[in-house]
Structure formats: structure tokens, C-alpha cells
A and B are shown apart, each in its own frame.
Chain A
Amino acid sequence: MLKSATTTSLKQHFARAALLGSALGASMLAGLSATSAQTVTVWSGYPEMAPFYEHVAQGLKAKNPNLNVKVEAIALREHEKRIALGLTSGVAGATVIELQGSTVRRYLENDLLPKAPDAVASFVKDKANFDEFFTSNASYEGAVYGVPLFRGQAALYYNTDMFKAAGLTTPPKTMEEYTQYAEKLTKRGPDGNPTVSGWSLRLTGGGQGIAEKFWINLFQYGGSVLEPTTDGKWRANYANEAGRATLKQYLQNVHVLRTVTPEMPADAEAFERGQTAMFIRESWVIGDIASKAPNLTYATAPLPRGSIALPTNLYVKAEGADSKAAWDFVMATNEPENLTWLLKNVGWLPNRSGVDYSSVTSATPAFGAFVNYPKDYKFFTLPSIGPIEEVLTRLAAQLTNAFRNASLAKDDTAIDAFLKSASDETNQILRREGLLGK
């Protein structure tokens, strides 16, 4: 009996020991697996890109189950501040950073981002993968630092039901027609005030967006906020006829024809809610409409002369094994399947050539204006110079005041004086930075 009791007690003891051992073993294994897990953080300035990076991460899980991808997508202007603070004070772990080619210059000049590994550089330099424009945008002094991903390219979005109701059968083809169309498309209340804007213009808000949108319109008139000079520098180029025509068109629409007012809902949200008949924006709106207003009847059209093409690239801030995981993630974003997913579900235009996007572009006719543009269609991009943000932010502040000034609308001399003053400020910034050309 005693023997039996002792045996039972011993058995229980061993069982407990075995259980404890198993638990310890399991926790050690878990610890081991935790130590081998790799985390890559993605900093994005476009919240709508988050699902794309998560999709890429999901795809990588099959190859690397220990990879943990953390996507941190915030508004662009806050993202830019995060990069300025993060890169100078030190970023922990592997971080993939989304940056426009025009903004990255300062960081590269100060060695704050590493060069891409050889294999990545070869991929980017391969003409079969990227047009020279995109390769050079991701490079600095001949070395590749980033991998091109997508670009911001603008086109006209118009509500086909509203066009039909206004008796308009084709999209506007000249800037003069834009104003004429806006007048016909504007819906007004009993007091004569517009309730649906004919053409949504960017008139208010903070940041450089106002100046970028102004530049797109200015480009249609043959102008440019900055132009390169023969000595490799830059100077303002909007205090001229093109600048006057552009600003006058804004002022006419706001103050004379009242096809739009600063108080009216604007941009993609207004378009999706039927609060504006047309507006100019990048391709991501197609994805936004698909998710927020799938029943909206609309079409797109190329702009009269050409468009902005603003490439966004991916850069890496990491060291050692972390660096490899981060670059692997970056390369995975450029896999054809992922790029097609990006175009279909988010709407930003991938930059990689040699990928068949026709399954998406043929299924969504709205992409037509972004890929099937006229042969003589022209593109411009923001110059990769240090003070580009300051130039645009200050111009935006000046433009906001001008848009509110009704007295400018019918006074060409006053418009010219305003443009001269704004242009002097732009040149002053360039002079201070040693970038003002002759």
C-alpha cells in the first residue's frame, strides 16, 4: 500500500516535472522564434496606401513567416515632419520610407539615407523596368538610393450625369472651355449662390497643395512656377502672361462667374458626393470612388496640354540583417502581381514598365486618361532642389490671399503686381540658397 502510494506520488512528481519541462521548452522555443522574427516598419504619407503595403506583407509571409510588417500611414504633411525628425534623431529598426523624389534631395545630400544594394540598383537601372525619368528621380550623383513605386499624374474627372443634364457631350479641351463648362455646370440656389460647383478649384487650406494645383493649371497655359536656367539653376517663371491667365481664371470663376466659392465642399470628397461637377486630380481618386461612391457615373479626360508627374520612391533606413528584410520588402512591392493590385485597388499609377496592366485599365475606363494620352502630351515634375517646399508653401500662402481678393478679378495691372511680388519672393528664396539662375 505504502509502495503503491509512493509510486503514485513519484509518478505525479515526474508528471509535474515533465509538464514544467514542456512548458519551459515551449516558452524557450517561443522566445527563440520571437528573437528570429523581423519587423519592418513602413512610413507612408498616403493613408490609402496602407492596404497595399499590408497586401505585400501578406504575400511575403509565405516566404518569410517570421517577417512582421508594421504600416504607419499618416497625412502627407505630417509624414514629412516625421521624416525630418525621425531621420535626424535616429530611426530604430528597419524602416521603409516613402518619399517624393523632389523632397529626398536634402536627405541624400546629408548622408541620411543609404544607397540601394547592388542587386536593387541593377533592377532600378534596368531600362526594361523603369524609364530613365524614374531611375534618375530615385538616384543621386549617379547612385541609386530608392526604388520607384508610383506617381502622381493628374487628369480631369467629370460627372457624366451632370454633363448630360447641362447638354455637354465631350470634356473640355482648352482652358477657356473649362470656364465655359464650369458656368454651365454650376447649380444655384434661389438666392443665386452656387450649391454645386461647376469646377472645384483648390482655394483654401494650409501647405503647398494650393501652389501645386496652381502650377498644374499654369502649365496648361505654357507657364511654370520654376524654370531651369542655362547655368543649371532655377528662377520663377509665373509673373508673365501665362501666370496672369491662370490667376485670372481662378478669380473669374470665384468672383465674377461664381462657379465655385472657397466655402464650398471641394476636391474628391465633393466630387464623390455630387457637390462638384468636375475637378483635376491624380489617379488615386479612381480607387477612392470605387470604395466610397461606387455608383457615381463619371469619366476622366487628359488635360489640355499635359500633366504633373510626381514620382514617389521607397527608401530604406536600416542596418545589417534588418536592411536585407527591408529591401526585400521594397523589391516585393514592385512585383507585377502587387503593382497590378495597387493600380486596381488603390489607383496610384505604378512606375514600372513591362508589366501588363491591361486587365485593370480595360476593366476601369477611367484609367484611360492616365495611360492613353495624346502623343504630344507633356509632363513636368517638381525640381529636386532643397527649398522646393518653401517656394511652394510661401506661394500657396500668397495665392490664398489673392483668391479672396475680388478687386483683382477685373484688374490685370493688379494681377501683374501680385504675380511680380510673389515671383520676387520665390527668387529671393532661390537667391538665399544660391540657386537663383540668370
Chain B
Amino acid sequence: MQHKRWMFALLALLPTLAIFAYVRIYPIGDTLRLSLHKWDILSKNKPFIGFANFEELVGDPLFREALLNTTIIAFGVLLITIPLALVLAALIYHRTRSRLAGFYEAAIFIPHVVSLVPAAMAWKWIFDARLGPLNALLTSAGFAPKSWLFDPVLSVLCVIVLCSWQALGYAVIIYLVGFKSLPTSLYEAAELDGASAPQRFWHLSVPLLKPITLYVSVVTLVSGFNVYAQAFVLASDAQGAPGRQVRVLVLDMLENSFRNYRVGYAASEAVVLLAIVLVLTVIQFRLLREKGRS
């Protein structure tokens, strides 16, 4: 009977597992295989070249630049999004009974669902060195205008701001779900013991929300490493571009695949990205779980 149940469960899951394997596992496996080959996307020949692609990656300045930019962007977004989302979610949760509670949630969440390209275009205008409102604000406050989209450091910062603005809404919503599931008895007890609101937030909410923080930080970091469209749109233009192209890993991969016709080489970059994301996810799991236990 037990065996039959197992068989039924397995058969019921099989179609879903098969689709998952085809659209998720197979491409990863094929990317791993391609990273060990030289392939120009057009040719039927894909000679095996071992780790030559990876060896070349080590000495490739564009790859190193892309890796550095992507890492800075991913961690920058993480560092901005997580604390800010936690604080915003706490404030919104605190105002749950307010008539404007729905507005607060919607206002924070809308950037996450807004189409990326028009949003990035709007940010491009905000960051515009000559006509942008950001520089207008700086000038009126007595500061010198900045070349936001042209300076190598500031252009990376612009991408971080845009990505954080987008990621924040999702993180806040997830934190709100977490806040709503916290046991109220603990807060009541803490209040009776004389704990202030900030103390309750710091000593109760933050530790109790660690599983949520783990989930949100993994999702934010992974999407941060996959940044592409934001960097592309901020610098894109049919003629001469209004900004400096911030080279990120996905952009470098696309360029190597479809402009330089080096799919095997781009696959090796994808493998490096996969390894980084996996390692960071494992580290995050360990750190937060160990702290949770202690």
C-alpha cells in the first residue's frame, strides 16, 4: 500500500519534474558542457578545449571589470535594500490600522511591478548631467553638478540606486508578511517589561525575522548578480549614448555570445556566475542559521 502511494506520488510529480528538468536542469548542464568547448554559435563543430576558456577569463580585463562591477552592484543593492526594507516594513506594519496603510504598501510595491525599461528611462532623465532634476537640486543647494552617468564610480552608483528602488517593494512585502506572522504575546510581554518600540524592533523583530531576512537577502543578491537591463538602458542610445556603459557580467556574456560569436567563452562566464551565486547562497544560509541557533 505504502509502495503504491509512493508510486502514485512519483507519477503525479513526474510531468512537473520533467518540465523542470528540461527548462532548468538541462540548460545548466549544457552550459557547463559548453564552457569546455570552443563554439561560435554558427558552426556545427564544437571542439573540446578543456579549461582554456576559464584560463582566458583570468586574464581578460573586460571580464574582471564586469565581475567587479557586478559584485559591487549586487552587494550595494543588498546593503541598501535589506535594512531599508526592514525599517519600512516595520513602519508600515505599525500603521496597519491607518487609512493610508494600503497606499503605503502600494507606493512601495509599485516600482517592483513597473516595466523596467520605462522606469530606467525615467531614472536616466533624473540622472541627466545637464537637464536632470537631481543636478538641478544639487545646484540649487550650492553643490557642483555631477556627471552621474559618465563617471566610472557614479555610474555604478546609479545602477545600484535603480536596482534598489526596484527591489525594495518586493522585500518590504515579504517582510510585512513576516511581521504579520510574529507572535503578539512576545511584544505584549516586552511592553509590560518596559521595552520601547525601537528596543522591541531591535531585540524581537530583527531576530524573529531572520528566516525572512535569509530568503530576501538570497533573492536580492541573486537578482543583483543577474543585473543587466538596468545597466543597458541607463547607457543606451542610438547615437553616441548618453552614458557610460557599466559593464556587468550578463552584458559581457551577451556581448561575447552574440557579438563576438564566442558562446563557449560566454558559457564559462555563466559558470563562474553560477559558482559565485551558489557559494554566496551557502554562506548566507550558514551565517544566518548559525546566528539563529546562537
Which positions in A face B, CB cutoff 8 Å?
75, 77, 80-81, 84-85, 87-88, 106-107, 109-110, 112, 200, 202-209, 262-269, 386-387, 389-390, 393-394, 397, 400, 404
| Interchain Cβ contacts under 8 Å between A and B, 5 examples | A204-B244, A205-B237, A209-B240, A269-B239, A389-B261
Give B148's nearest chain A residue, CB to CB. A263
Which of the listed residues A81, A206, A386 has the most CB atoms from chain B within 10 Å of its own CB? Answer: A206
Is B150 a contact of A204 with CB atoms below 8 Å? yes
Let me know if A393 and B259 touch, CB within 8 A: yes
Report B-chain residues with C-beta under 8 Å of the C-beta of A209: 240
Query: In the complex, which of the residues A80, A386, A390, A397 contacts B247, with contact meaning CB atoms closer than 8 Å?
Result: A397
From A106, A206, A266, A400, contact of B239 by CB (8 A): A266
Given A202-B240, A204-B244, 9 other A-B residues pairs in contact with their CB atoms under 8 A? A84-B257, A200-B240, A204-B243, A206-B232, A263-B147, A268-B239, A393-B255, A393-B260, A404-B152
B262 to A: closest C-beta gap in Å: 7
Bound complex: CA A152 to CA B214 (Å)? 54
Contacts A81-B258, A389-B259 given: A206-B42 contact, CB under 8 Å? no
Closest A residue, CB atoms, query B38: A432
Nearest CB on B from A105, distance (A): 10
Q: Which of B43, B129, B245 contacts A205 (CB 8 A)?
A: B245
Report A-chain residues with C-beta under 8 Å of the C-beta of B243.
204-205
Q: Are B240 and A84 in contact (CB under 8 A)?
A: no
Closest approach, in angstroms, between the C-beta of B33 and any C-beta of chain A?
17
Q: How far, in whole Å, are A263 and B239 apart by their CA atoms in the complex?
A: 13
Contact residue among A266, A397, A404 (Cβ-Cβ distance under 8 Å from B62):
A397
Binding site for A on B (CB under 8 A): 40-44, 62, 129-130, 147, 150, 152, 232, 235-245, 247, 251, 254-255, 257-262
For residue B257, which residues in chain A have a CB less than 8 angstroms away from its CB?
84
A residues less than 8 Å from B130 (CB atoms): 263-265
From the candidates B62, B237, B244, B245, name the one contacting A394 in the complex (CB within 8 A).
B62
Contact B147 A386 (CB under 8 A): no
Alpha-carbon distance between A263 and B149 when the two chains are bound, in angstroms: 8
Complex contact B261–A84 (CB within 8 A)? yes
CA distance A91 to B38 in the complex (A): 24
User: How far, in angstroms, from A387 to B242 measured CA to CA in the complex?
Assistant: 27
B-chain residues with CB within 8 Å of residue A107 when the two chains form the complex: 42
Query: Contacts of A207 on B, CB cut-off 8 Å?
Result: 259
CA distance A87 to B41 in the complex (A): 10
Cβ of A83 to closest chain B Cβ, rounded Å = 9
Given the interface pairs A88-B41, A386-B40, A393-B255, the reply to whether A204 lies near B240 with Cβ below 8 Å is yes
Closest to A392 in B: B259
In the bound complex, do residue B43 and residue A204 qualify as a contact, i.e. CB atoms below 8 Å apart?
no
> Do residues B235 and A80 form an inter-chain contact, with CB atoms below 8 A?
no
Q: Chain A contacts of B43 at CB under 8 A?
A: 109-110
B238: A residues at CB distance < 8 A: 75
Q: A87: which B residues are within 8 A, CB to CB?
A: 42
- Minimum CB–CB distance from A433 to chain B (whole Å) comes to 10
> Is B245 a contact of A390 with CB atoms below 8 Å?
no
Residue of A nearest to B256 (CB): A390
Q: Which of B150, B152, B245, B258 contacts A206 (CB 8 A)?
A: B245
Interface centre among B235, B236, B259, B262 (most CB of A within 10 A): B259
> Which residues in B have their C-beta under 8 angstroms from that of A84?
41-42, 257-258, 261
B240 nearest in chain A by CB position: A266
From A206, A265, A386, B261 is in contact (CB under 8 Å) with A386
Nearest CB on B from A166, distance (A): 23
Nearest CB of chain A from residue B240's CB, rounded to whole Å: 4
Which residue of chain A has the shortest Cβ distance to B246 in the bound complex?
A206
The minimal Cβ–Cβ distance linking A390 to chain B, given in whole angstroms, is 4
Residues of B within 8 A of A267 (CB): 239-240
Judge whether A110 and B44 touch: CB under 8 Å: yes
> What's the minimum C-beta distance from A379 to chain B, rounded to whole angstroms?
23
CB distance from A102 to the nearest CB of B (A): 13
Query: What are the nearest 6 A-B pairs in CB distance?
Result: A205-B241, A267-B239, A266-B240, A390-B260, A206-B245, A81-B258
From residue B174, how far is it (CB to closest CB) to chain A in Å? Answer: 34
Task: Please give me the residue from chain A that is nearest to B239 by CB atom.
Answer: A267
Instruction: Give the CA-CA distance A49 to B260 in the complex, in Å.
Output: 25
Shortest Cβ distance from A37 into chain B, in angstroms? 32
Say yes or no: A205 contacts B42, CB within 8 Å.
Answer: no
Give the contacting residue for A390; candidates B41, B236, B242, B262; CB below 8 A: B262
Question: Which of A84, A203, A264, A393 gathers most chain B CB within 10 Å?
Answer: A84
Taking the nearest CB of chain A, how far is it from the CB of B222, in angstroms?
25
Bound complex: CA A262 to CA B261 (Å): 30
Which chain B residues lie closer than 8 Å to A77 at the CB level? 259
B241–A206 touching, CB < 8 Å? yes
Contacting pair B40 A204 (CB below 8 A): no
Cα distance A200–B239 in the bound complex, in angstroms = 11
Residue contact B260 to A205, C-beta cutoff 8 Å = no
- A residues within 8 A CB of B240? 200, 202-205, 209, 266-267
Known A81-B258, A205-B235, A394-B62; judge A263-B42 contact (CB<8 A). no
Residue of A nearest to B238 (CB): A75
Bound state CA distance, A110 and B261, in angstroms? 13
Of all chain B residues, which has the CB nearest A78? B258
Alpha-carbon distance between A156 and B104 when the two chains are bound, in angstroms:
55
CB distance from A12 to the nearest CB of B (A): 54
Nearest Cβ in chain A — how far from B263, in angstroms? 9
In angstroms, Cα B261 to Cα A387, docked, is 8
Assess the A106–B261 pair: CB atoms within 8 A.
Answer: yes
Instruction: Write the nearest CB–CB distance from A77 to chain B, whole angstroms.
Output: 7
CB-CB under 8 A from A265, the residues of chain B are 130, 242
Interface centre among B236, B238, B262 (most CB of A within 10 A): B238
Whether the Cβ atoms of B129 and A263 lie closer than 8 Å is yes
What's the Cα separation between A204 and B246 when bound, in Å? Answer: 11
The answer on a CB contact under 8 Å between B236 and A206 is yes
Residues in chain B near residue A264, CB distance under 8 A = 130
B42 touching A112 by the CB < 8 A rule? yes
Return the contact of A204 from the options B62, B235, B254, B255 (Cβ within 8 A): B235
Complex CA gap A264/B130 in Å reads 8
Using Cβ atoms and an 8 Å threshold, which residues of chain B touch A263? 129-130, 147, 150
